[in-house]
Chain A
Amino acid sequence: MTWELFAVFIGSSVRLAVPLFLAGTGELVSERAGVLNMSIEGMMLTGAFGAAVGAWATGNPAIGLLIGVVAVAPVALLQAVLSNTLRANQIVTGIGINILILGATTLAYREIFGARSREQIPGLAKWSPPLLGDIPVFGEAVFQQVWLFYAGIAIIVLTALVLRYTALGIAIHAAGAEPRAVDKSGVSVTGIRYLGVMFAGFMSALAGAFLSIGDIHTFTEGMTRGAGYLAIAAVIFGKWTLTGTVLACLLFGAATALQFQLPTLGVNIPNAFLIMLPYVLALLAVGGLAGRQTAPRALGEPYIRR
């Protein structure tokens, strides 16, 4: 393998991992707060669709991104109300929302784009940081990314700092582990959990927008194709730590990138196996490669005040 090919492989692994670790970070915060958010997939799809339509209608991808985020807000709010206020089964609601969104975006896509399907949509501008972008071979292949990539990394770093060093971070952690204690200390468990789900929605919107207007500049029906579920698997694989989650996403991204890289190297592995590979890895990951699992103790249990 030449350096050029290796650089392209690293670049495409990172690009394929971006939507996963954006959504994974959101899911991590939500799960830390105690809400298992199965609707990541639907939220990503909403974000991808909103951003695509917004960018196409206004001609401005940044406004498209904003519309994507706004479009996800009601979906996230629905999930938050169902899983916190109405204390509905979080898995059932998540799957219901995913079915609803897949249908709704497909319907709306046909309505809006109709015969003009597969239309090119203006995408986000690329940017490469000084110095890093000047590295020979790797600079262009790896570091030249849409600005959302760098903004996303900044948000993830910020999230890590908040989770680690602030009272809010401690409260989020405690809401998933010892909700009763949080309540006794005078902080609203429900409030924290709403925040967690809304944050997951925000991050999923960015992830979806990255897919539609960052990476391929078009929307296709059901284009997330299970990425949301991979993000959830990444949280488990990462043992509910942010670093672990991001690393797991990079691994899944690399596994996905192989299906484009190996054929160019003349390696003869069935394409279907390579497409399957990230899911197989995710299964192995949640099935014990990660070791003993340490989910937040109150994960998935609605909190009832006494």
Chain B
Amino acid sequence: MTDVALSGYRRIREWVRPSVVISISAVVVAGLLGLVLIFAINVSVPDALSAFIDGTVGSPYAIAASINRSIAFALVGIGFVIANRANLINVGGEGQIAVGGIAATAVALYGGVAGLPAGLPFIIPLVAAMVAGVIWGSIAGVLKIKVGTNEVISTLLLSFIAVWLVYWCVQSPALLRKPMTSSATLPESLEIPDPTKLPLLTGDYSFPLNTGLPVTVVIAIVAGLLLARSLFGVQLRAVGFNPIAASRAGISYQRMVMFALAIAGALGGLAGGIMLLGDQYVLKDGFSSGYGFDGLVAGLLARGSVVGVIAAALLFGFLRSGGINMEMVAGVPTALVMVIQGLIVVTLAGAAYFIRQRQ
């Protein structure tokens, strides 16, 4: 065999690792179980399937909408993977999305940015969203390094607080609620001005991919290189592996924890900003609707790989779109998608044992 063929063979073996096989099997098995459940609740399986397919790849619109959903999952997932490299578990994606959305709305509506040139009308709100996410992530970081608070519980509580902050912002006319003209005025913000909306890639509303996509792709590449090829990636890993040994080697545990959680927060905030400026345009109560938790699951499933995050994010984006269409067309509750997701996570977490045994 030539060297080239050999390295190709190695590469295939590398790719078809037991973990990849098990991940795919878990997804397939959970999907089949979903079909059984659809049958069990007396919905015609072909009807449900055709609704699912229509909602995922049935039209250019469906495809673009699914990919737009995946963007938020991917950003939160990448943040999770970066923090996880330092052995931190950021469960706060939901809250980071929420504060990102609040900041983006506030700046887009009241920051006087609509008249600025050259993309600034949407860039400034996105930066504000990232800053808000950094602040939210850093709170957990400060608690971790100052008091030793487990970041799982702090980021989780911060998520609950942030979700209620959104509610507060849209309920109170002193904050972001639109002016009350009658008692029927909905508790939501005004729609953001047109210049602050993210431009569509194609300019065509029947295929509404937005500028968030290239931004996310660039971030994914940078994150992949950062983790695999940079000193920063090595330092993160060192701290995650053994904080004491790392500090003997001159790597500050405190600094790395702060960086890791701030970056995760920034990406979560950005995800919230993109959701708001790219797709929703109006801040509403519960706008984050579990996106942060789905992103977290995408990060978990990826086992530290940025490529894995993208794959899981796309899977969940399409799964969610299909699930929504199944509910609207075939009357299958979207809760079914949650069951499938939960099954995937539990199966993969348990399967890790068998992967360890094999290796």
Residue numbers of A with Cβ under 8 A of B are: 38, 78, 81-82, 86-89, 91-93, 95-104, 106-107, 110-111, 221, 226, 229, 232-233, 236, 270-273, 275-276, 279-280, 282-283, 286-288, 292-293, 295
Partner among A96, A221, A282, A288 whose Cβ is within 8 Å of the Cβ of B157: A282
Contacts of A100 in B (CB 8 A): 338-339, 341-343, 345-346
Given contacts A89-B352, A270-B171, A271-B171, whether A103 and B164 have CB atoms under 8 Å apart is no
Per-residue A-contact encoding for B234-271, CB less than 8 Å = 1, 0 else = 00000000000000000000000000000000000000
Is the CB–CB distance between B353 and A293 below 8 Å? no
Return B240 CB to nearest CB of chain A, in Å.
Answer: 14
B157-175 vs A, Cβ < 8 Å mask (1 yes, 0 no)? 1101100110110011000
Q: Are B336 and A107 in contact (CB under 8 A)?
A: yes
Beta-carbon nearest neighbor of B171 in chain A: A272
Once the chains are docked, how many angstroms separate the CA of A78 from the CA of B349?
12
Determine if B161 and A280 form an interchain contact, defined as CB atoms under 8 angstroms apart.
yes
User: A279 and B353 in contact (CB under 8 A), knowing A78-B346, A96-B342?
Assistant: no
Q: Which residue of A is nearest B335, CB measured? A: A106
Residue pair A229, B153 in contact (C-beta under 8 Å): yes
B345 touches A99 (CB 8 A): yes
Task: Report yes or no: B346 in contact with A287, Cβ–Cβ below 8 A.
Answer: no
**Which segment of B48-56, B143-151, B214-222 sits at the interface?**
B143-151
**Residues of chain A contacted by B161 (CB below 8 angstroms):** 276, 279-280, 283
Q: How far is the CB of B6 from chain A (nearest CB, A)?
A: 36
Q: Which residues of A contact B156 (CB under 8 A)?
A: 229
A287 to B337, CA, bound (A): 35
A272–B168 alpha-carbon span in the complex (Å): 5
Min CB gap A111→B, angstroms: 5
Partner of B154, one of A93, A270, A287, A292: A287
Q: How far, in angstroms, from A275 to B160 measured CA to CA in the complex?
A: 10
Main SS of the interface on chain A? helix
Could you name 19 residue pairs across A and B whose Cβ atoms are closer than 8 Å? A82-B349, A88-B353, A91-B152, A93-B349, A95-B91, A95-B297, A96-B342, A99-B297, A100-B342, A103-B342, A229-B153, A229-B156, A229-B160, A236-B153, A276-B161, A282-B157, A287-B143, A288-B146, A293-B149
List, in ascending order, chain B residues with CB within 8 A of A232's CB. Answer: 153
Best-buried of A86, A87, A104, A272 by chain B (most CB within 10 Å): A272
User: Is the pair A279, B349 in contact by a Cβ cutoff of 8 Å?
Assistant: no
Please report whether the interface of chain B is mostly helix, strand, loop or mixed according to DSSP.
Answer: helix
Determine if B199 is an interface residue (Cβ-Cβ < 8 Å).
no
Q: Say yes or no: A107 contacts B152, CB within 8 Å.
A: no
**Complexed CA–CA distance, A236 and B143 (Å):** 14
Which one of A88, A98, A233, A293 lies within 8 Å of B349 (CB-CB)? A88
Asked if B130 lies at the interface with its beta carbon under 8 angstroms from chain A, I say no
A93-B346, A93-B349, A106-B338 known; A273 and B147 CB under 8 Å? no
Q: Is the CB of A103 within 8 A of B349?
A: no
- Taking CB atoms and an 8 Å cut-off, the chain B residues in 44-102 that contact chain A are 89, 91
Complex contact B352–A88 (CB within 8 A): yes
> A184 CA to B132 CA in the complex, in Å?
51
A93: B residues at CB distance < 8 A: 345-346, 349-350
Residue of A nearest to B91 (CB): A95
Q: Which residues of B contact A271 (CB under 8 A)?
A: 171
Residue of B nearest to A38 (CB): B152
Q: Assuming A86-B349, A93-B346, A100-B338, what are 13 further A-B pairs, CB within 8 angstroms?
A: A93-B350, A95-B300, A101-B342, A103-B338, A104-B339, A106-B335, A106-B338, A107-B339, A110-B335, A229-B153, A276-B168, A280-B161, A283-B161
